[in-house]
Amino acid sequence: MTIEKLKPYLPWITLVVLVLLVGAINPSFFNPTALLQLVADIVPLFIMALGMTFAIYIGGIDLSMQQVANLVTVVATVYLAQFGVFVALICIGAGFVIGAVSGWITTRQFVPSFVATLAMGFIALSGARFLSGERALSMNAEARDASFGWMFGNTAGVPHELVIAGVLLAIAWFLQSRTTFGRALKAVGAGELAAVASGLNVDRIKIMAFALSGTFAAIAGLMFSVKLSGGDANLANGFLILAIVAVLVGGTPLTGGVGGVINTLVGTLIVVVIRSAMVYLEVDATMQQMIFGIILIIAIAMTIDRSKMRIVK
């Protein structure tokens, strides 16, 4: 029975164990400001994972997020001078629309989200390549600082990125657990047919979930673009798999209806700890990938709650 009670906390426990392990081997890991900075740096990844949580929470997946973010870095860079801070609206709108179209293709055309979002990602990539003229673009530094300088920097030692992440997390958490929409998401993830039979507009809910993941991808892309002060069609590469891994390690399985945004927070932190442990523990360059894979297996084996899964596929 005690193990049953521990289950919801397994991701947290895994995180703490990992942190202690790395810290025990290399105590310099415990520098609080450095840790804070470490966490601040993964904010775009975390936002991406937050969005991915919605897609996975309803039992789907969104593979277009990385390309949406790529597109957004280009859009943000190209139109910053013209629209200033309002370029954010264009970016977020683009993410929302792409996500909604993915959702529409999945729900109304019965194309599995794995393929639908992958294909939508290709379309977004085309857009990014076209708009960027196939070049790496950089933002006008003055315009960037004037419009988005507030995204970075510190207040009372707290990096602003963390504040943004915190706000987004709070919004996502509120959406998930305090709104009819979040409740509907859970119903769709855990029992879609029952949701239909209860008169929920399931299609719209699913389309909204993908639209949300697209929106978060756009926010992540925008932040990343501002951080790097530029954009190109490949800038956000490398986000996708890590975002998925972060969600899964956090304990939101692909079956849907279980887990949530708080899990994603833990999952992202676990991924980041593993990754920076490679640097802190000076893991041999040719071994890093393999060790990442093995630790991942161990972490997932520890964090997933199998009691909600009838059949493990």
Give the footprint of other proteins on residues 77-106 (CB under 8 A).
Answer: 105-106
Query: Could you say whether residue 169 binds other proteins (CB under 8 A)?
Result: no
Written as six digits, the tokens of 263 are 């899990």
Which of 79, 83, 114, 173 lies at the binding interface for other proteins (CB under 8 A)?
114
Nearer to other proteins, 82 or 138 (CB): 138
| Contacts with 144 (C-beta within 8 Å, 6 or more apart), sequence order | 80, 226, 229
Query: Could you say whether residue 308 binds other proteins (CB under 8 A)?
Result: yes
Q: Which stretch binds other proteins (CB under 8 A): 6-14, 29-37, 82-90, 261-269?
A: 29-37
Q: Which stretch binds other proteins (CB under 8 A): 9-17, 82-90, 211-219, 278-286?
A: 278-286
The DSSP code for 229 is T
CB-count burial class (<10 Å; 0-12, 13-18, 19+) for 304: buried
The number of beta carbons lying within 10 Å of the beta carbon of residue 188 is 26
Residue 280 C-beta: closest distance to other proteins, Å: 5
Please compute Rg for the chain using Cα positions.
20
Which of 50, 192, 261, 274 lies at the binding interface for other proteins (CB under 8 A)?
192
Nearer to other proteins, 88 or 205 (CB): 205
Q: Among residue numbers 122 through 161, which ones bind other proteins (CB under 8 A)?
A: 122-123, 125-127, 129-130, 132, 134-138, 141-142, 145-146, 149-150, 152-155, 157, 159-160
Strand partners, 137: 231
Q: Among residue numbers 199 through 218, which ones bind other proteins (CB under 8 A)?
A: 199-202, 206
H or E segment and range at residue 255: none
- Label residue 256 left, alpha or beta by phi (over 0 means left) and psi (-120 to 50 means alpha): left
Residue 292 C-beta: closest distance to other proteins, Å: 6
Query: Could you say whether residue 233 binds other proteins (CB under 8 A)?
Result: yes
Q: Among residue numbers 42 through 61, which ones bind other proteins (CB under 8 A)?
A: 42, 44-45, 58-61
Nearer to other proteins, 12 or 189 (CB): 189
Which of 52, 100, 185, 186 lies at the binding interface for other proteins (CB under 8 A)?
186
What is the sign of the dihedral through the CA atoms of 95, 158, 18 and 285?
positive
Written as six digits, the tokens of 211 are 């639209």
CB-count burial class (<10 Å; 0-12, 13-18, 19+) for 279: exposed
